[in-house]
Chains A and B, each alone.
Chain A
Amino acid sequence: MHSAYGIPISWILTVGAMLFCIGLFGMMVRRSAIGMLLSIELMLNAANINLVAFGSYLKLPVIAGQVFAVFVITLAAAEAAVGLAIVINIYRNEQHIDADKISAMKL
């Protein structure tokens, strides 16, 4: 028998790869800063799925994958807080959040 309730690990890793590539596509296509943050969340979740899959399928310390996923979720929350604060600040100063037109840090 394959694994947790018969779900092969390759299925889970494939779903993770799909989510990561969708996030990558969104990162390249979106111009709105919030849309890019959404794509980053997609990619972080793809990484988390892989971590949990490795944790529950490989012969590691049982809990390691889940603990790493908890840390990733913590840092994702931190990233969202700072990112949205920056977005709101930019909107207040420039009345838009178009990533192409934000040039405050350009030389």
Chain B
Amino acid sequence: MHILGFYITGYQVAFIAVAGITVLSAIGVVLLPNILRAALCLGLMLFGVAGIYALMNAPFLAAVQVMIYVGAITTMIILAIFLSHRVMKIGFSQAIYNPLLAAAAAGVMFLFLFVTVANSVWVRHVAASGPAKSGVGIDAVATALLQPYVFPFELASVVLLAVLIGAVVIAKEDTEDA
């Protein structure tokens, strides 16, 4: 379709919408003073990232994102907020040192990244190299995880086991006789 003289495909419109939701809710995550609302914004932002994955031919990763991030990590964070804040008393200590300075630093960082992306040779090369590959299904991911990447995969399982035991030990209440 033509908008303001530019030709835009439907996928580009969808991407702009999803990216807008993602960035706006990310801003909500860092700016909302109520930590519970910030965590709910994080859930929305993670949904937006799942949408971006879906638009990038990665349906399996989009599903993983929704299951692990939105389903598990957000729930865990909200649970920790309930355990560690008096949620009803909303205005807890949120001393902000110098938000303008922090915003300036983050803005300089963004300008640097943006100029790098806009000027890099390979971005233009990719733009000229034609359409991306077709979608990658769950079977391809499973094959990759169990054939060329089997060692990092097993390493990740060991790391997860160690992390779970460590988290239980850290969060466990100290008993007198221990």
A39/B30 in contact, CB under 8 A: yes
Residue of A nearest to B61 (CB): A66
The 8 A CB mask of B7-22 against A (1 = contact, 0 = none) is 0010110010001001
Which residues, 1 to 44 on A, are CB-close (under 8 Å) to B? 1-15, 17-26, 28-32, 34-35, 37-39, 41-42
Residue of B nearest to A91 (CB): B84
Residues on A with C-beta less than 8 A from B117 are: 10, 13-14, 17
Give the interface of A toward B (CB within 8 A): 1-15, 17-26, 28-32, 34-35, 37-39, 41-42, 45, 48-49, 52-53, 55-59, 61-64, 66-67, 69-71, 73-78, 80-82, 84-89, 91-92, 96-98, 100
Give the interface of B toward A (CB within 8 A): 9, 11-12, 15, 19, 22-23, 26-27, 29-30, 35, 38-39, 42, 45-46, 49, 52-53, 55-58, 60-61, 64-65, 68-69, 72-73, 76-77, 79-81, 83-85, 92-97, 99, 102-103, 105-107, 109-110, 113-114, 117-118, 122-123, 126-127, 129-133, 136, 140-141, 143-145, 148-149, 152, 156, 159-160, 163-164, 166-168, 170-171, 173
